C-alpha cells in the first residue's frame, strides 16, 4: 500500500517497544486497536451508505476498474477508440451553409456609387496608382 512490507512493520513494532517501554506499550496498543476498529467501522458505514443510495446497481459496479492504481491512459484511450459507433442517423442534423453569400453592405454601397457591380473576389491591383477596392469604407473613417 505505502511500500510497507511485513519486515518494515516488524521493524516499526520493535522500535516502538524500545521507545514506549513495557509500561506504556499496552495502553498504546489498545489505542491503536481502537483506531483500527474506528477506521474499519467508518469504511463499512460508507460502503453501506453507498449501497443504500445506489440500490441494486451497487453490486453491478466494477470497483476494480475504478481503482486509481489501475489507471492506464493508453488502455482508456484504446477502449474509447475501439467502442462501436452508435447505429442509425445522428440525433442532430448537420448545419448547412447557403451556397451564395450576400454581398457585404459596404461593397453594395461602393457598387452603387461607382455605377456598377464590384467583384469582391478579385485580387486587388498591386500598382500604387491603380484604383483598388479597399476592404473598408473610407467615408466612415
What pTM did the predictor assign?
0.39
pLDDT at 80: 83
Instruction: State percent of the chain over pLDDT 70.
Output: 67
**Comparison of pLDDT for 3 and 117, the residue scoring more:** 3
Confidence of residue 132 (pLDDT cuts 50, 70, 90): low
pLDDT at 60: 80
What is the overall mean pLDDT for the chain? Answer: 76
**Kind plus residue range of the DSSP H or E element containing 7:** helix 6-54
For residue 96, give the C-alpha cell: 448547412
Sign of CA dihedral 78, 79, 84, 85: negative
- Distance, CA of 131 to CA of 114 (rounded, Å): 12
pLDDT over threshold 50, residue 66? yes
Kindly report, residue by residue over 78-120, the tens digit of the pLDDT.
888 887 665 555 566 666 666 666 677 777 777 777 765 555 4
Q: How many Cβ atoms from other residues are within 10 Å of residue 68's Cβ?
A: 5
Residue whose cell numbers read 489507471: 71
Amino acid at each position: 500500500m505505502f511500500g510497507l512490507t511485513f519486515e518494515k512493520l516488524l521493524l516499526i513494532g520493535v522500535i516502538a517497544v524500545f521507545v514506549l517501554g513495557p509500561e506504556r506499550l499496552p495502553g498504546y496498543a489498545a489505542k491503536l486497536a481502537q483506531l483500527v476498529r474506528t477506521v474499519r467501522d467508518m469504511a463499512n458505514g460508507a460502503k453501506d451508505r453507498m449501497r443504500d443510495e445506489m440500490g441494486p446497481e451497487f453490486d453491478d459496479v466494477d470497483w476494480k476498474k475504478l481503482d486509481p492504481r489501475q489507471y492506464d491512459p493508453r488502455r482508456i484511450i484504446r477502449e474509447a477508440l475501439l467502442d462501436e459507433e452508435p447505429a442509425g442517423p445522428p440525433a442532430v442534423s448537420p448545419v448547412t451553409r447557403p451556397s451564395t453569400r450576400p454581398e457585404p453592405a459596404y461593397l453594395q454601397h461602393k457598387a452603387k456609387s461607382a455605377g456598377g457591380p464590384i467583384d469582391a473576389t478579385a485580387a486587388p491591383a498591386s500598382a500604387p496608382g491603380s484604383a483598388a477596392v479597399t476592404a473598408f469604407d473610407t467615408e466612415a473613417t
